[in-house]
Structure 1
Amino acid sequence: MRHLVTFLSLFRIAPDRPDLHIAQIKSVSRQAPLFFGIMTLNAALLVYTHAGVAPAYLTYLPMAVVGSVSVIRCRAYHRLSKATLDAAVAYRQLRMLNAMVVVLLVSLLIWCLALMSFGDVYTRMHVMFFVVFGIMACVFGLLHVRSAALMAVTIALPASLYFFATGNGTLRAIAVAFLALAVTTSYLVFVYHRVFTSLVQQTSELRRLSDDNLRLANVDLLTNLPNRRSFFSKLQAVLSERKESGFEVQVGLIDLDGFKPVNDTYGHPAGDALLREIGSRLHAFCDEHVFLARLGGDEFGIVVAAPGGCVPSAELGASLAAALSQPIRLAKGVVHVGATIGFAAALAHEDKPDRIIERADSALYHAKANARGSTIVFTQDLDQALRRRDLIVQGLRQADLEAELLVLMQPMVDVVRNRVVAFEALARWHSPFLGLVSPSEFIPVAESSDLIQPITELLLRKALAPVSLWPLDIGLSFNLSARDIISPHLVRRMGRIIAESGVTPERITFEVTETALIGDFEQAKANLEGLKAIGCRIALDDFGTGFSSLSYVHRLPLDRLKIDRSFTSEMESVPVCQDIVETMLLMSRNLGLGCVAEGVESGGQMALLRSLGCETMQGFYFHRPMPIERVAGFLERFADSALVPGTACAA
């Protein structure tokens, strides 16, 4: 019984071979015209030799049926050869082919047996050869489909028996030869089936490997989002297709806020888990118009291609930022990150990605500098800012920094003891092409273009040059930029310049802002500890305006806090500002830290601060930033002045 089941399975289409089914139908579709053409030609020749010998219903009528079936099936297989087949369609077509082969060959065999009653020995031999040629043409035309080919071979058995039973010696000899040919053909069918199946398997495996390689080349394995290469390919494609699609194209860049602290605090596995969750959340926004990719690190890209107004970038950015800001549960605890996003729209005839990405990056840069956690869309105002930035970059690269960079000094005053305790060095750049450029403009540009290191060193040398001429109880306060504070060589560079100046490190205070510490807190902390170790002092500037002021205060080797001018300037009109300043002063005293109030511009502010216990202040009320050469004269005038409300040194 088991052998019978195995034998019968040779004549069925196995349902679990989808790749093989599709390859078989494609092969049959290509060979169908040849197979049906041979069948029709042989039928026509058979009708030719039996015309006038056999009745018309046994000649012309079967010929018309054969011709019609051949044309219909050829057209059907031609459509299949052009179509993209799925496994289910291929399986149905193969089962239909099996049934068609049986019906066709049995019908032809019956037709031939009916014709054997007419004509002489030659016409009967022609009928016999028609059967042989028809079956062999069917077998070789269907070698790719073992079940159909074996059915065709099986038809040879009753045909051979019939010819053998005629009693004619010649026909018997031909029948035996036909049977031997059928057996040999059966063997070839099995051999070819194995070869064909093996080729299909190899092709499928190569296709799978190719698909895997393509996926690896275009997909970020950590987040399962498209990668940088895929992002640029997609952007180039939608830009090239805009004429046909009529779509507007927008590009967005996403930068995660707070990813690095999570990665540094909990380790890279936690950072990877966070990125996987971010990738999962971004996947939810992908559709036919929105394409999201990971560009590297904690940066992601967006390509929006849609009819005008269908996907507003500002609304999409707000939705993305809201989704990414939701708490993320990791193995070591719950963390929070945010997202800052910059968008830019492609111009009417823009067909290259570079400029649109540059504009989106400018929008992102502006958002990170001014409104972290928000979405900024590139505008003409930003375009002007970008052009200004380019001019500053070129100006810095071509500048004679020694001649063009200036250092101004602004005093810090102890209002209780009526004395100057230090000067803060403030940088200015006087460009012969751009005029006077404020540090808020050129310092960020210098940081992003890797010019900040020589600028910082030059400014420190200029600031230290007059300090040796000042009274020993007056110090220098010098600002470090965000790029400086995370430089691994900061302590060595600053220490060398201080040693060359001859000024004792104890007279120097380095000021850092809270926002400058975000980039790499651990490296920043190590640098500040190194500066502290050589004798310098450390001050936290703009205190109260950062993201996590209190955490920085207890984790850093600080000597002084500087209360930001945004609080002192509104103390007289906004009571809550006065409360905040009072709290800061109390905290600094409890922690044993000095405290400087910035932005003091009136006698009223000075008096109010003094009543709250603030001793050291800085601002226009005492003096505006002055050139270095005017410091000596200022100190002489200051010694003769009295710091009472409404009175200050000449500015």
Structure 2
Amino acid sequence: MMDGFSRIGETLVGKMRLLAIMVLGGLVLVIIVQAEAVLTTGEAVNRSMRYDIAMNGLNGKLDAVNALERVSRFAATRTPEDAQAARLFHNILLSRIDTWSAGAFGNFVATSPERVALLERVRAQVSGLSPLYARIEDPGVPDEIRRTLAQAVSGLIRIGGQAMMSNLTEAADIRETLRERQRFQNALVMVLIVFGAVLLAMMSFQARGLRLARESAERSARKFEQVAQRDPLTQLANRLAFDAALDKAIVEGDAGAGRLAVFAIDLDGFKAVNDMLGHAAGDSLLVSVARRLEEIVGGWGGDGLVSRLGGDEFTVLTRVPNGAPQAKARAQEMIDGLHAAHGLDHGNIVVNVTIGYALVDGQTVDADSVVQNADLALSHAKAAGKGRSQAYDASMREDATRRQLIEAGFSCALSRGEIVTHYQPQVEMATGRIVGFEALARWRHAELGWIPPSEFIRIAEASGRIAEIGEHILRSACRDASLLPQDVPVSVNLSVAQLARADLPGTVADILEETGLPPERLKLEVTESMVMSDSTRALATLRRLKALGVWIALDDFGTGYSALSYLRDFAWDELKVDRSFVQTLESDAQSLLIIRSIVELAQRLNISVTVEGVETPSQCALLRRAGCRVAQGFYYGHAVPAGELAGQLLRSFARVPLLEKPDLLGKGA
């Protein structure tokens, strides 16, 4: 009986094997047929993608019409801008004709000798116009160009129309082909469903295959786990591997090998490499930095780990037997080693790096704290000038907490009126009469008390809140100034973020209208560095502001990069001499000479001059002898709230003879 069961089992297994072979054979046949259908459908789709011939033809006709229209416009206006536009569209038309001779459109043209001849004739006509475009300003030349262009436009329209008709015909064929193949593929899908159902019934007999597949998947998972801990570009350890290594090192300890140190490394100016040389060059530089870091760390011995966390951020995990001095020395070694030129395919690239580092001590119990400490040290190193290293100390965490508290408090400070406007007087040195005020932001924080402007302005710029604060100060200054005598202007500093906004002139106009302050009583101050960041856009915005009637002042004059060129490019109303020259007046004769030169230059250009940072009577005397007329600084008064301005003005006017009529807004030094 057992033998009978065995024979029956063998027979069933044989039949199942035969059935499986038949199913697989049927599937292979269906797959072959399906593949042929897919290829045919793909060919139809590829043909459908040649519809860009019609679009190319349409664009060519539009380019021809635009070229003709630009010449006609110049003939009517005779302006240099329209002449330049006419030449531009002529070049565009030449480029379009070149594209018609290549690619799919070129193949379309080549199918008809008549079209080939017509396109060559049009090319010759348009190319022959280049000498005429060179002297388009001459009388009669635009008309001659239009006559020739009119002939070329006719030919281009004819070719473009033929391209459109050809595409329409081909589109009809493609649609029919796709419909036929779709019906055929629907039938194949039904066949596949049937074979699939049979195959699913046989899957219960594939236990062995599933086991082998599971084992293979486990091997692949182990391999992928290794890959997942590597940065794909540099092949360094990634953040996952770094975190695991740091956790392990902290848990294991090993004080005999020295203290554990984490170095956070950031490339200075890496974005500029990407922008100027391209991302391929940036990637090559990152790989070079990675290899050099491995070489440097490998020279220390031990089991140091170099990792890339992302972008241009690298970390190094190592032990320093000699503690902090050795950590500092190793940070400098990495700065020097990475600064040496990196020889890449794109040329030699020199980069600086900034490093922050932290050492693990007995109080450090988790990896996150160590990394945060190194990052805080890196932030402080960047703030101090980049290209340097900085060790972490506990005060940095206090600074970070304070910064977070300040940054989180901006919204409430504005809504509660904690950020207020104070005003520092600008004084005519000869008489002591106040001739204006500069609006300055002041903040009395609910928890921190008075926060220096140098601190919260910098944080506001970094957090993107400076434009909101600047608009608040501008509105307050205009509102307060509207209550002062008509001959007293107010100066307001603009931030980089405000100057970059296209709606700034509209905002200023709205505030002036809202507060009723005459435009000529508002001075807007910008620094040279702000203008230099995007001079074209900045000067265009300043011209729009000046058109409103407000005064534009160049602040911190003399400390920038190319101040004289800005005097030529823009009609400034006022120059503000930087306080750094005033501070060295009594110890450096060159400072006085520079100020005198600025005053003389401003007089010739009919620009007002205000000197900042005057703190002593001797400085005031020297500046008056140098020809300066208006100054501000602690010698004349600190910034005060709006409520104290009236009293200051009364005391100021009391020093001036009653019949004197000051020209507070008159130009001149």
> Aligned equivalents of 1:291 and 1:516: distance in 2?
42
What's the counterpart of residue 219 of structure 1? 231
Matched AA of 1:249: L
After superposition, give the CA deviation of every residue in 1:527-562 in whole Å (9 maximum; x if it has no partner).
56325423355555445666x566995898683554
1:279 to 1:598, Cα distance in 2 relative to 1, 3 A: farther
> Aligned equivalents of 1:354 and 1:270: distance in 2?
33
What's the counterpart of residue 374 of structure 2? 360
| Aligned 1:544-583 pairs, distance under 5 A | 548=561, 559=572, 561-578=575-592, 581=595
Of residues 438, 444, 465 in structure 1, which corresponds to 2:452?
438
Superposition deviation, residue 438 in structure 1: 1.7
> Aligned equivalents of 2:276 and 2:605: distance in 1?
25
1:581 to 1:226, Cα distance in 2 relative to 1, 3 A: farther
1:601 to 1:447, Cα distance in 2 relative to 1, 3 A: same
| Aligned 1:50-65 pairs, distance under 5 A | none
1:514 to 1:602, Cα distance in 2 relative to 1, 3 A: same
After superposition, give the CA deviation of every residue in 1:613-646 in whole Å (9 maximum; x if it has no partner).
4444221122211211222332333334379xxx
> Aligned equivalents of 2:257 and 2:634: distance in 1?
57
Q: Is 1:314 aligned to 2:325, yes or no?
A: no
1:256 to 1:555, Cα distance in 2 relative to 1, 3 A: farther
> Aligned equivalents of 1:591 and 1:292: distance in 2?
59
Superposition deviation, residue 405 in structure 1: 1.6
What's the counterpart of residue 297 of structure 2? 286
Q: Residue 320 of structure 2 contacts residue 326 of structure 2 at CA under 8 Å; is this kept in 1? A: no
After superposition, give the CA deviation of every residue in 1:499-545 in whole Å (9 maximum; x if it has no partner).
53344555444445567789xx34x8635632542335555544566
> Aligned equivalents of 1:254 and 1:264: distance in 2?
21
Q: Which runs of 5+ in 2 are unaligned?
A: 1-211, 658-669
Superposition deviation, residue 441 in structure 1: 2.6
Matched AA of 1:342: G
Of residues 417, 420, 441 in structure 2, which corresponds to 1:406?
420
After superposition, give the CA deviation of every residue in 1:561-618 in whole Å (9 maximum; x if it has no partner).
5443233112202345445555666777788865543211122212323433444422
Matched AA of 2:438: E
1:334 to 1:415, Cα distance in 2 relative to 1, 3 A: farther
Of residues 615, 623, 635 in structure 2, which corresponds to 1:601?
615
Among all aligned residue pairs of Structure 1 and Structure 2, give the percentage whose two residues are the same amino acid: 35
**Which protein shows a greater Rg?**
1
C-alpha RMSD over aligned residues: 4.6
What's the counterpart of residue 246 of structure 2? 235
> Aligned equivalents of 2:653 and 2:331: distance in 1?
57
Of residues 636, 639, 643 in structure 2, which corresponds to 1:622?
636
Q: Is 1:342 aligned to 2:353, yes or no?
A: no
Of residues 647, 650, 653 in structure 2, which corresponds to 1:639?
653
Superposition deviation, residue 280 in structure 1: 5.1
> Aligned equivalents of 1:238 and 1:551: distance in 2?
58
1:326 to 1:421, Cα distance in 2 relative to 1, 3 A: farther
Partner of 1:641, secondary structure, is coil
| Aligned 1:103-182 pairs, distance under 5 A | none
Superposition deviation, residue 252 in structure 1: 3.2
Q: Residue 474 of structure 1 contacts residue 507 of structure 1 at CA under 8 Å; is this kept in 2? A: yes
> Aligned equivalents of 1:272 and 1:593: distance in 2?
50
1:275 to 1:204, Cα distance in 2 relative to 1, 3 A: same
What's the counterpart of residue 35 of structure 1? none
1:334 to 1:531, Cα distance in 2 relative to 1, 3 A: farther
What's the counterpart of residue 29 of structure 1? none
> Aligned equivalents of 1:270 and 1:261: distance in 2?
11
Q: Residue 505 of structure 1 contacts residue 534 of structure 1 at CA under 8 Å; is this kept in 2? A: no
> Aligned equivalents of 2:295 and 2:597: distance in 1?
45
What's the counterpart of residue 537 of structure 2? 526
Of residues 474, 477, 497 in structure 2, which corresponds to 1:460?
474
1:304 to 1:557, Cα distance in 2 relative to 1, 3 A: farther
> Aligned equivalents of 2:272 and 2:426: distance in 1?
34
Matched AA of 1:617: A
| Aligned 1:353-432 pairs, distance under 5 A | 353-393=367-407, 395-396=409-410, 399=413, 401-415=415-429, 420-432=434-446
Partner of 1:466, secondary structure, is helix
Superposition deviation, residue 306 in structure 1: 3.5
After superposition, give the CA deviation of every residue in 1:37-83 in whole Å (9 maximum; x if it has no partner).
xxxxxxxxxxxxxxxxxxxxxxxxxxxxxxxxxxxxxxxxxxxxxxx
Matched AA of 1:467: A
1:400 to 1:590, Cα distance in 2 relative to 1, 3 A: closer
> Aligned equivalents of 1:569 and 1:393: distance in 2?
32
1:320 to 1:404, Cα distance in 2 relative to 1, 3 A: same
After superposition, give the CA deviation of every residue in 1:148-171 in whole Å (9 maximum; x if it has no partner).
xxxxxxxxxxxxxxxxxxxxxxxx
Q: Is 1:252 aligned to 2:266, yes or no?
A: no
TM-score calculated relative to the size of structure 2: 0.54
| Aligned 1:30-45 pairs, distance under 5 A | none
Partner of 2:490, secondary structure, is strand
1:448 to 1:460, Cα distance in 2 relative to 1, 3 A: same
> Aligned equivalents of 1:514 and 1:300: distance in 2?
35
Partner of 2:296, secondary structure, is coil
Q: Residue 356 of structure 2 contacts residue 392 of structure 2 at CA under 8 Å; is this kept in 1? A: yes
1:328 to 1:392, Cα distance in 2 relative to 1, 3 A: same
Q: Residue 525 of structure 1 contacts residue 556 of structure 1 at CA under 8 Å; is this kept in 2? A: no
Q: Residue 381 of structure 2 contacts residue 390 of structure 2 at CA under 8 Å; is this kept in 1? A: yes
Q: Residue 325 of structure 1 contacts residue 337 of structure 1 at CA under 8 Å; is this kept in 2? A: yes
Q: Residue 467 of structure 2 contacts residue 495 of structure 2 at CA under 8 Å; is this kept in 1? A: no
Moved more, 340-349 or 448-457: 448-457
Matched pairs, number: 438
1:555 to 1:440, Cα distance in 2 relative to 1, 3 A: farther
> Aligned equivalents of 1:291 and 1:633: distance in 2?
67
> Aligned equivalents of 2:513 and 2:395: distance in 1?
46
TM-score calculated relative to the size of structure 1: 0.55
> Aligned equivalents of 1:402 and 1:483: distance in 2?
23
- Structure with the larger helix share: 2
Superposition deviation, residue 409 in structure 1: 0.7
